[in-house]
Homo-oligomer: A and B are copies of this chain.
Amino acid sequence: MVVVMKAHATEEQKEHVREAIRAVGCTPRDIQGAEISIICLIGETRGLQPEQFEMIPGVDQVQRIQRPFKLVSREVQPNNTVFEVGNVTVGGNGVVIIAGPCSVESLDQFRESAHAVKAAGGRMVRGGAFKPRTSPYSFQGLGEPGLKIMKQVSEETGLPTISEVMEPELVPLVADYIDVLQVGARNMQNYPLLNAVGKSHRPVMLKRGLSAKIEEMLLAAEYILAGGNHNVILCERGIRTFETWTRNTLDISAIPVLKKFTHLPVFIDPSQAVGHAEYVGSASLGSVAAGADGLIIEMHPNPEKALSDGDQSITPTAFSALMPQLRAVAGAVNRSIA
């Protein structure tokens, strides 16, 4: 249940509502939008009547929320969440293209990648410094030196950065260097980590778990918003199915489903989804046409020499050939490339 306040409700009126919420054994939680102000009831609300709150001065209306998620719900916040990362607007009409290598391997490799991203029109650069790897014997990332490389190259190019954080206590460190914190698919339900990024001032990209239902993804995002961080990007990156000719199965229909139920921006990672460079273009174009708010693409200067995920990385040449096609498709659905 949520209480929607009138446009000019006073802080005193809001506090009155919060007290009424506490009086029935629930916890109030504020959501302050650009134009409206909402107070959520967290707790058991089934026995409550909307009328109990509707009569309080300053209250516009009271709504029951059917789904178990609240803060991420379009019922609570009908307008799209829009926020800035550096000079890039996320969640607006412009589709944001992020690209870069799976792992940061060296300053030269990452610098070359970032310049290629920028030259082709990409707006943000990705790179992994802490890498979750299935085998303990695989390359695990450069760690903090990798973050420093990303920071340096970001300053050189003006491109904001995104990188994965894998454990709660490293959130402040990664947030020092990086503009968007990524929570990886394997950690979508790592609740201590979700709580930690929920307290960060950095925007978060939450990747869908390999076998996570859409509802579970929204509830994972709810943890982050409930922690106080409202700048969350949801990223579909392929789900695990029986098909073996692609690495995962890109669930493209998740785009309209998510756009219906939540106000958060929805991105697609076509590279993780298909797992082969030759299919990345098709999946990218399909995603933009289907309504994605952004893409995060693996691109490596020398895919065959990449320390991780070389098979699914496209070359700078392929990326720069793809960009005008993305621009055309975005235009066809009344979007632009940011």
Contacts and interface: CB of A to CB of B under 8 A. Distances in A.
A278 to B, nearest CB: 7
Interface string A105-133: 00000000000000000000000000011
Contact of A135 (B68, B167, B289): B68
Contacts of A144: none
Contact of A169 (B169, B223, B240, B274): B169
A223 B209 CA distance: 21
A243 B213 contact: yes
A278 B252 contact: no
Interface stretch (A74-82, A300-308, A326-334): A326-334
A219 B285 contact: no
Interface string A250-270: 111111110010000000000
A166 interface: yes
Closest 10 CB pairs of A and B: A286-B290, A211-B211, A289-B289, A328-B332, A256-B282, A186-B189, A167-B192, A286-B286, A285-B289, A332-B332
A283 interface: yes
A311 interface: no
Interface in A217-257: 219-220, 222-223, 226, 239-246, 249-257
Contact of A285 (B136, B169, B246, B290): B290
B257 A245 contact: yes
Contacts of A285: 289-291, 333
Interface residues of A, number: 70
A251 B243 CA distance: 9
A216 B282 CA distance: 22
Interface string A275-306: 00011011101111111000000000000000
A13 interface: no
Given A241-B239, A278-B256, A331-B332, A249 B251 contact: yes
A273 interface: yes
Given A167-B167, A213-B242, A328-B332, 13 more contacts: A136-B191, A167-B168, A167-B192, A186-B190, A213-B244, A241-B241, A250-B251, A250-B253, A252-B286, A253-B273, A289-B289, A289-B332, A329-B329
A325 interface: yes
Contacts of A134: 189, 216, 219-220
A156 interface: no
Contacts of A329: 289, 329, 332-333
A291 B274 CA distance: 15
Given A169-B169, A219-B134, A333-B329, A242 B286 contact: no
